[in-house]
Amino acid sequence: MHLPLWSFHRNPPMPHRVVVGMGLALTAMFLNGVGHAQTYVKIDPQGQPHWASHPTGPDYQFTQIGAIKPPVSNPGTEAKRDQPLAQQRALIEAQAVRPLVEHISQRHGMDPALVLALIDVESSFNPRAVSPKGARGLMQLMPDTARAYGMRDPRELHIPEKNLDFGIRHLKDLLQAHNNNWALTLAAYNAGRNAVQRHGMRIPAYNETLIYVPSVLARVDRHRVRPSQPD
């Protein structure tokens, strides 16, 4: 399929609604049922990422925008997720956790759609997810991060209520630290607050982070609408 030439340029700070709109322009056309988007990215001398559908210069490198599948403790889990029964289970898990996300997000003054989009990318709503680095649960929190919010036992991170409370408070702190800039907040959540600071309060030039930020943003509006119940 031939795609029209487009580009996306992040120049923080921006209002989060503008950032979401730009993220959607970059990714939504590819993420609604058509899988991954092939795209190109370059980092300019100021450390800002530029995306394009076709390489417009020698500095552009190939990457992909799409669903980021979370690493889990059981390698067979991801294969099962691709099966129809497991996909239905994932949808049921998403619907089951949504009221909790809405309740805890509202308690902490956060947008539930942003939290749901982040969980979608981080764990596909799997509360049992564990990454090789030790990030756990719905919001893929590291135990050291969660301890700052009152976690006493890493097993608590597999309890949805606790994982959401720790994770949403952490996300809120990052949002406040980055002047309510959603893109920088998500970059800090993925790569770490220090990484954003080291890059001059810009999105770090890490391939995973360059994929992660627009992938979350592209899902925000999708999660503002309640999904229909599975048959």
Beta strand pairing call for 37-43 and 7-9 = unpaired
Phi, psi of 157 (to 5 degrees): -70, -10
Q: Give per-residue burial for 104-128: e unless 16+ CB within 10 Å, then b.
A: bbeeeebbbbbbbbbbbbbbbbbbe
Indicate if 122 belongs to the active site.
yes
* Residue-level length of the chain: 231
Catalytic residue among 93, 102, 122, 161: 122
Residue pair 164/139 in contact by the 8 Å Cβ criterion: yes
What is the distance between the alpha carbons of residues 30 and 129, in angstroms, rounded to a whole number? 26
Residue pair 199/47 in contact by the 8 Å Cβ criterion: yes
Catalytic center residues? 122
